[in-house]
């Protein structure tokens, strides 16, 4: 990606984010761990990708999420939410609500099912995104927008309901490592000739060496030269949710793998990828603050963290099987029966086709309290591979 392709506002943002990260590197003595770099590139106040005001979602942004592709995604998800709320009561809490489209569609679908919660809560870090979400809700569901409340902190313990996050975990900062002849090296970020550069050195991040040894004890040693990522912040995030969820379910939808798939020897460069203007970029240091930086999710780690936090693993399956379990086939059939809606049908099929999002994206459910089996996991159960 050439700097000349950026407009003037993007060039200013790029320099601002680089300067912010450069100051942090200088304060740290010349380098910072990759997870700290990723955190700043995505979330540094006024400079990070998700908080600097640039448009991220949809055709005009850098990537398109399932709720933006077709409303059928959110409607199917609402069916699962309604099923849980019928048992637990309570509210819905969405982490990272993006453009607000998913929240609007879920609320509309819950209203149609006469299953509306008193409140639909949103945890969103970006003030710009909160404003955009509010605008989307007022435009799409004006009669329901007043039910939506943005949180400044997590709910108090004793909360009941459904926690949902679509494409959130992939944006949690990760540590990068590489197996060397002497053990494992950690990736740091430094500045060389005025540019951000990776630097491999002995691990310093607390818990990294132990976490990698734990993985190798189960899978065997990584091959020499094998590089990948690990999200050491994931267990704390899961514990935080488990800390307030007294009865209900946590539903996480994202792209990722089981541990054995994630760290397969053939995936020797890891999973880190960047998105900018609907294009993928391999270099995470090229456009800090302008490009999304993501890593696939280790769903085995998610399941383990949930169980260790006292939750029950109630389901793990592909997005296609989950949506089918939630009844999306009836919506697809309705679209197929109307020739005028063929475009909508083609978009909706992207949610379930194996070559699109159907197999690549996975859904995991972690629950607390007494719940009946969830319909979304009735069509396929992949828990045994975690």
Identify which of 66, 63, 42, 58 has the alpha carbon closest to the alpha carbon of residue 126.
42
∠ CA(364), CA(37), CA(151), 5° rounding?
A: 50
Element spanning 151, H or E:
strand 148-151
- With bands split at pLDDT 50, 70 and 90, how would you rate the model's confidence at 9? confident
Task: Specify the pLDDT at position 182.
Answer: 87
Side by side, the strands of the sheet bearing 273-276 are 279-281, 273-276, 292-294
Chain mean pLDDT for the chain? 94
Residues 149-154 have a mean pLDDT of 96
Residues 326-355 have a mean pLDDT of 93
Task: Specify the pLDDT at position 64.
Answer: 83
Task: Specify the pLDDT at position 167.
Answer: 95
**What fold does the segment set 3-59+173-232+264-293 form as a domain?**
Rossmann fold (3.40.50)
Task: Specify the pLDDT at position 55.
Answer: 58
Residues 31-37 have a mean pLDDT of 98
Task: Specify the pLDDT at position 61.
Answer: 54
> Looking at the whole model, is its pTM more than 0.85?
yes
Question: Would you say the CATH fold of 66-172+234-259+295-385 matches that of 3-59+173-232+264-293?
Answer: yes
φ, ψ of residue 342 to 5 degrees: the values are -60, -35
The mean-pLDDT minimum among 58-72, 234-248, 302-316, 343-357 falls in: 58-72
Identify which of 168, 103, 91, 164 has the alpha carbon closest to the alpha carbon of residue 132.
103
Task: Specify the pLDDT at position 76.
Answer: 97
Task: Specify the pLDDT at position 278.
Answer: 78
* Cα separation, 352 vs 322, whole angstroms: 9
Q: Which CATH class is domain 66-172+234-259+295-385?
A: alpha beta
Task: Specify the pLDDT at position 51.
Answer: 85
Which tokens in the block code for residue 372?
């009946």
Task: Specify the pLDDT at position 90.
Answer: 96
161, β-bridge pairs: 91, 248
φ, ψ of residue 114 to 5 degrees: the values are 55, 45
- With bands split at pLDDT 50, 70 and 90, how would you rate the model's confidence at 117? very high
Sketch the domain layout of the chain as residue ranges.
3-59+173-232+264-293, 66-172+234-259+295-385
User: Quick check: 4 pLDDT over 70?
Assistant: no
Residues 295-319 have a mean pLDDT of 98
User: Quick check: 293 pLDDT over 70?
Assistant: yes
User: Quick check: 191 pLDDT over 80?
Assistant: yes
Residues 159-182 have a mean pLDDT of 96
Task: Specify the pLDDT at position 131.
Answer: 92
């Amino acid at each position: 990606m050439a700097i000349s392709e950026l407009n003037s506002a993007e060039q200013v943002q790029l320099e601002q984010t680089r300067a912010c990260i450069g100051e942090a590197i200088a304060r740290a003595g010349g380098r910072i761990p990759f997870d700290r770099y990723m955190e700043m590139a995505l979330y540094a106040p006024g400079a990070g990708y998700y908080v600097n005001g640039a448009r991220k979602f949809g055709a005009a942004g850098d990537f398109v999420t399932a709720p933006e592709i077709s409303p059928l995604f959110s409607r199917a998800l609402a069916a699962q939410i309604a099923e849980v709320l019928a048992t637990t009561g309570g509210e819905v809490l969405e982490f990272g609500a993006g453009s607000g489209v998913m929240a609007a569609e879920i609320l509309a679908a819950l209203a149609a099912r006469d299953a509306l919660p008193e409140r639909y809560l949103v945890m969103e870090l970006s003030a710009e995104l909160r404003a955009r979400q509010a605008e989307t809700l007022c435009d799409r569901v004006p009669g329901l927008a007043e039910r939506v409340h943005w949180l400044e902190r997590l709910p108090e313990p004793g909360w009941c309901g459904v926690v949902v996050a679509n494409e959130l975990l992939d944006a949690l900062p990760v540590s990068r490592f590489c197996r060397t002849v002497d053990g494992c090296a950690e990736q740091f970020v430094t500045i060389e000739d005025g540019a951000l550069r990776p630097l491999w050195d002995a691990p310093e991040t607390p818990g990294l060496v132990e976490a990698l040894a734990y993985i190798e004890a189960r899978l065997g040693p990584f091959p020499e030269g094998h590089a990948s990522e690990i999200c050491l912040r994931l267990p704390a995030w899961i514990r935080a949710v488990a800390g307030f969820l007294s009865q209900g379910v946590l539903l996480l939808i994202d792209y990722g793998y089981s541990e054995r798939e994630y760290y397969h020897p053939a995936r020797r460069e890891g999973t880190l990828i960047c998105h900018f203007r609907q294009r993928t970029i391999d270099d995470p240091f090229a456009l800090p603050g302008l490009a999304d930086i993501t890593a696939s999710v280790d769903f085995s780690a998610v399941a383990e963290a949930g169980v260790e936090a006292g939750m029950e693993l109630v389901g793990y399956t592909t997005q296609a099987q989950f949506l089918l379990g939630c009844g999306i086939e009836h919506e697809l059939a309705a679209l197929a029966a109307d020739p005028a809606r063929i475009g909508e049908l083609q978009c909706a099929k992207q949610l379930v086709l194996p070559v699109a999002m159907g197999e690549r994206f996975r859904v995991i459910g972690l629950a607390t309290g007494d719940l009946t089996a969830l319909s979304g996991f009735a069509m396929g159960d992949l828990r045994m591979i975690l």
